Structure 1
């Protein structure tokens, strides 16, 4: 509402300013014709100055351009043939200036504006026509551009004159008629020897609410409203963009992301709700993180005591083969439990917001080759590196420790299900890095490809708990590649027929 009031006030001010200019232009156009007639008469007969002043009921004088006005802008207007009207501070007198040529300026001082000036203009126009010797129509056509109102010839019988007005015009008087509603006026003088009259006008009153002025004000109003709407929308857009940035940061794991809240509008309420949600998420994740760490660390202590106790028992019952076998199985279970705790800690660290990754230039092909060389496969399975040569591979910006861990998890997963072969390949392009790990095992059904990277996921009998693993290895791989800005995929190997896991991420890291 306040904005509409401001726009209304500005439009009113614009209308006043436009009308101020239009009024000045209107007055200049009305008096210009009379000043042209005076200038022409004085150029022909300078001695006629007193008579013209008397007939016009005005003060007339001729001065140099530099003396008539000290204002440079007014001098330029006079030189271009424009009329300059200067009004006194009290508004009771006016001074009208027009350039006559040769550096001279006609000065007309007026104290009152009456029908005397209209009558003088009609007489001067009629006299100049008589002196010119031109046909009246040709004379009026030549003079029309100097006047701000029409000049025409009208038959006396078409004027609907009263007897007294008709008699006055027959005696040579100038008849000035003003419409009853006051919106226009005209001056009439009979053409000698003809049943016709010379009409000056009609001169229409100044209309402050003409369609041109209303159109300009409407355009200004729409522009102001448009600017106001743009300012409001842009303000909302900027604040929503900041909210979007905070949301993206929160999604990337920056749990301390917040938005500045100010104002009393819907965006402010949305920002407050976002900040409360972010605080709640941060608190829940903090609690979860502390719980996972506490439980994992607390489990390590009893696991270590159990392992120590098993070692003592093993040393005491070396002769009992059955007991030794059972103790060996228990030791393997404890080892598995220890590895599970380590996997849980790693997964929690990657899943609970952005980890602190130290990105540096590294040879990913060399990392993949290291994983292959470190692998300890069963005798029946062969692990080979079949990718791009290490010395030809481009360097990439990665966190070497985590990328090594991701490839290692994929190779370990492949070893659990492969029958004879596991192939590891690495390709470093100009923009992306790609690592593929393939095996000749039973593969993964296509309907399970979307959930294979889910934590603790269990698939069909071909990849059951008896094959080993905890359901976290591939989830860790997915999170590592996620923090590198890439994605992990699974498909079927065309070469070996089993599963094919692929990691793709940008070669250059972007914050």
Structure 2
């Protein structure tokens, strides 16, 4: 905030100084053009040997510095000399606060220029200029004065006119000075919002009229008090703008805080209402909602997993306990050996169940570390075909290779996980197929798709989404020898998710079920796919 105030103050100071600079330049040009032209004309009328003395009298009466200079003495630049030769005026001013130098050429006198120095109009200059105007008009008959004043007003930056004495409202001392002592008077006036003005008056002896010059702007610098006003105004504007920007953000952050407090209190269903804005807070709200949904899903999955695991562990543990009790009472060696083999088989199943649970938990809880490489899908599917046939089951497993170019056989993924997906699909298909299982793949744009079809009974449409939920068994009558624990397809779904793809089940043209897995051929195409 302090830095903002300093920047605003510095900008306001520069603005005032810049405005003053251009104002003084304009003021000097407008105010100097007429008097300097008039003085140069009056000097030109004088005999050459009297011009310097005449100019010195004018300088003393106006209390200013005037002189005659040559081009060499003035060191005129080419553009300045060209302008002066055309009858123009050259203004040399420093930074605006220093006295300015005004140059104009003496009409009809080559290489002689009128040189004047001044800052702004003073009382002496106003009085001297009035006397000079009387001399100028007195050189001609009064009948010519209107034309002469018209020419003067065209060049001066303030009005010059003749006024009848009875039209003037003057204080007694000023009236006495003007009409009785025949001295020029100078009046000062203030105009609200415009500054100080000076008006000079002098009596015209030939007509008895009063020559009024002005009002002339004395030029007032923009004061530093204006800097304070500008700074305060800018700070107020910045404050209002900041309030207008921050207040909506504060309200939205307050909404986020309330939602987080509800979540901390255990209400994981709390969500932040998003209005579609894609700013930082909008992104934060979307992220918070996504995080809440993920946490809620994890907790739900944890509860379901805990409940299902306790149920699944109960049967093999009970069988092991029963087998141990039978071994204690059994005297027949062969039967005792049979009980031992049953217990060993149950322990193997417990190991497999625990392995499935750990795998599912790893894929469910967070982002696993995947080593994506380019996989030769044709070689992978042929290997799975051979592994499935090696099981010796009376089910024909065939891999049907599509007619694709060699480069389209490769896709990016974690090979061991892709292998597990297809192996799981084939295992399920062999479990329910009547006689035949088919493996194939195809490329659809930037997607790679693997299909496993069987000729079994298929899966009803209403159950096709449930098969990917953990511990789901569509056939509750299945025994442990014909099925698993309902985690295989759940693991498949999570592997597909971390590959940026999906696993689906539908109806096969062979009459049974079709399990499909599709994902981007390149992981860089995940967003576009």
Structure 2: state its 5+ residue gaps: 250-280, 296-301, 303-312
Aligned residues: 437
> In 2, Cα distance between the equivalents of 1:24 and 1:488?
77
Please report how far the alpha carbon of residue 118 of structure 1 lies from its aligned counterpart in structure 2 after TM superposition.
0.7
- Of residues 55, 63, 77, the one that matches 2:61 is 55
Following superposition of structure 1 onto structure 2, how do residues 117-196 of structure 1 map, counting pairs within 5 Å?
117-125=125-133, 128=136, 143=152, 146-151=155-160, 156-162=165-171, 165=174, 173-179=183-189, 183-189=196-202, 193=207
For the Cα contact (< 8 Å) 1:122–1:188, is it kept in 2?
yes
Shift of 1:193: 3.5
The answer as to 2:217 corresponding to 1:203 is yes
Which of 413, 416, 436 aligns to 2:431? It is: 416
Given the superposition, is the C-alpha separation of residues 458 and 78 from structure 1 closer, same or farther in structure 2, using an over 3 Å criterion?
A: farther
Residue pair 1:422, 1:439 contacting (<8 A) in 2 also: yes
Structure 2 match to 1:38:
39
Q: 1:403 aligns with which of 408, 411, 418?
A: 418
Task: Return the offset for 1:158.
Answer: 4.0
Match of 1:295 in 2: none
Note the alpha carbon deviations across 1:351-400, whole angstroms, 9 max, x for none: 45444433322222432343233224786644343463365434223222
- In 2, are the aligned partners of 1:490 and 1:499 still within 8 Å (CA)? no
CA distance in 2, matches of 1:199, 1:403: 101
Q: 1:104/1:362 Cα in 2 relative to 1: closer, same or farther (>3 Å)?
A: farther
Listed as ranges, the gaps of 5+ residues in structure 1 are: 237-266, 282-287, 289-298
Query: 1:178 Cα shift?
Result: 1.1
State the 1:117 CA deviation: 0.5
Matched, 1:425 2:429: no
CA distance in 2, matches of 1:137, 1:222: 55
CA distance in 2, matches of 1:150, 1:503: 94
Structure 2 vs 1, CA of residues 141 and 327 (structure 1 numbering), >3 Å: closer, same or farther? farther
CA contact (8 A) 2:149 2:160 kept: yes
CA RMSD of superposed structures (Å): 5.6
Alignment of 1:293-304 (within 5 A): none
Counterpart for residue 241 of structure 1: none
Distance in 2 (CA, whole Å) between partners of 1:459 and 1:128 is: 120
Contact 2:364 2:494 in 1 (8 A): yes
Rounded to whole Å, the distance in 1 between the matches of 2:120 and 2:363 is 93
Moved more, 420-429 or 329-338: 329-338
TM-score (norm 1): 0.63
TM-score relative to the length of structure 2:
0.62
Q: Deviations over 1:191-222 (max 9, x none)?
A: 65385744322426526279xx88x9589948
Moved more, 400-409 or 23-32: 23-32
Change (3 A) 1:18 1:437: same
The 8 Å contact of residues 347 and 476 in structure 1, kept in 2 or not, is answered as: yes
Q: Distance in 1 between matches of 2:396 and 2:472?
A: 27
Aligned match of 1:115: 123
> C-alpha distance in 2, partners of 1:144/1:441?
112
